[in-house]
């Protein structure tokens, strides 16, 4: 497959032309990044969902800058053509604008990121503006923002009533105005996402936001059927790798137990008699 490096002008052109949806998926390690890089998927996203799906935390709040950097560096080594988005974890941009810019710079320098992503709307527009001013592209994230899920009353659909829908609309406008080059919209009613998508010049990437967004994102382990704790309504499982993995492990365990693995084809041959003589051992 001939994939040329995905760029921000390329993504903006996709929005402007409206012929082809943008595809984004999360990844947290090198082997998955290599596989994604071999597909047509435009954006690979090291989300702080890694806290839940890879590190086993209950939510994304415990994820640290060091976690993000460790995983993003591995993904960057595999994602050569795919546009690399790296999440700013909770607490890494909340204390001050200086802190936000400093941590965004770190993610760009240490992870070879193409952009950073931060959660929040109107309240975070000044932060977005400052990071963009430092020369770092920013992807916004509105609607259900998992880092503040407890303040939102849990992992729930946002913008269901007119007042909260209007707030999400204002959030989207504020982020575009602050210089974000794209916005993730999570768990919002499809008509609201459609209206926002039509209004913005920058691409919207939906997750649980209906089909009218300019692109879609899914958590890789949800898509592959590798996350067992819960499956949100908006997830489609394109594979059941959990079952494949369990079958493979069970067969491995059985074959080790009954001695059918490793067979001669997985072993290195040698001369046992000669070796025993050399070692002064009894012939077997």
| Site residues, ligand KIV (CB under 6 A) | 26, 47-49, 87, 141, 184, 186, 207, 217, 219
Cα gap 190→165, rounded to integer Å: 11
Q: Which is nearer to ligand KIV, 83 or 243 (CB)?
A: 83
Q: Cα separation of 239 and 226, whole Å?
A: 9
Q: Which of 42, 119, 176, 186 is catalytic?
A: 186
* CB count in 10 Å sphere of residue 167: 16
Please identify, using beta-carbon distances, which residue of 41 and 219 lies nearer to ligand KIV.
219
Rounded to an integer, what distance in angstroms lies between the CA atom of residue 87 and that of residue 49? 9
> How distant is the alpha carbon of residue 219 from its chain centre?
6
CA distances from 246 to 46, 55, 221, 243, 252 (A): 26, 19, 15, 5, 10
CB-nearer residue toward ligand KIV: 51 or 189:
51
DSSP 26: E
At 207, which helix (H) or strand (E)?
strand 204-207
Tell me, yes or no, if 186 is annotated catalytic. Answer: yes
Residue 4 or 84: which CB sits closer to ligand KIV?
84
* Cβ distance to ligand KIV smaller for residue 50 or 261: 50
Report the nearest approach of ligand KIV to the CB of residue 284 (Å). Answer: 57
Residue 131 and residue 92 in contact, taking contact as beta carbons nearer than 8 Å? no
CB atoms within 10 A of CB 216: 20
How far is Cα 100 from Cα 98, in angstroms, rounded to an integer? 5
Q: From the CB of 49, what's the least distance to ligand KIV, in Å?
A: 3
Shortest approach of ligand KIV to residue 69 CB, angstroms? Answer: 15
Least distance from ligand KIV to the Cβ atom of residue 2, Å: 28
List, by residue number, the catalytic residues. 186
């Amino acid at each position: 497959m001939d994939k040329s490096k995905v760029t921000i002008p390329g993504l903006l052109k996709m929005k402007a032309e409206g012929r082809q949806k943008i595809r984004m998926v999360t990844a947290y390690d090198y082997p998955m990044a290599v596989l994604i890089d071999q597909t047509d998927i435009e954006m690979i996203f090291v989300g702080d969902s890694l806290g839940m799906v890879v590190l086993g935390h209950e939510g994304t709040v415990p994820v640290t800058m060091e976690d993000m950097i460790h995983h993003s560096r591995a993904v960057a080594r595999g994602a050569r053509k795919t546009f690399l988005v790296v999440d700013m974890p909770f607490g890494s941009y909340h204390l001050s604008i200086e802190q936000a810019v400093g941590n965004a710079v770190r993610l760009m320098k240490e992870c070879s990121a193409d952009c950073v992503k931060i959660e929040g709307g109107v309240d975070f527009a000044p932060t977005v503006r400052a990071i963009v001013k430092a020369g770092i592209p920013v992807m916004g994230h509105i609607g259900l923002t998992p880092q503040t899920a407890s303040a939102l009353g849990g992992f729930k659909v946002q913008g269901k009533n007119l007042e909260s829908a209007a707030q999400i609309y204002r959030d989207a406008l504020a982020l575009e105005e602050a210089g974000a080059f794209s916005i993730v919209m999570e768990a919002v009613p499809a008509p609201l996402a459609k209206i926002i998508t039509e209004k913005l010049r920058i691409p919207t990437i939906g997750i649980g936001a209906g089909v009218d967004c300019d692109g879609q994102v899914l958590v890789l382990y949800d898509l592959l059927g590798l996350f067992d704790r819960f499956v949100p309504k908006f997830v489609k499982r394109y594979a059941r790798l959990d079952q494949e993995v369990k079958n493979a492990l069970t067969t491995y365990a059985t074959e080790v137990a009954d001695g059918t693995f490793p067979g001669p084809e997985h072993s290195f041959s040698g001369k046992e008699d000669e070796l025993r003589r050399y070692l002064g051992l009894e012939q077997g």
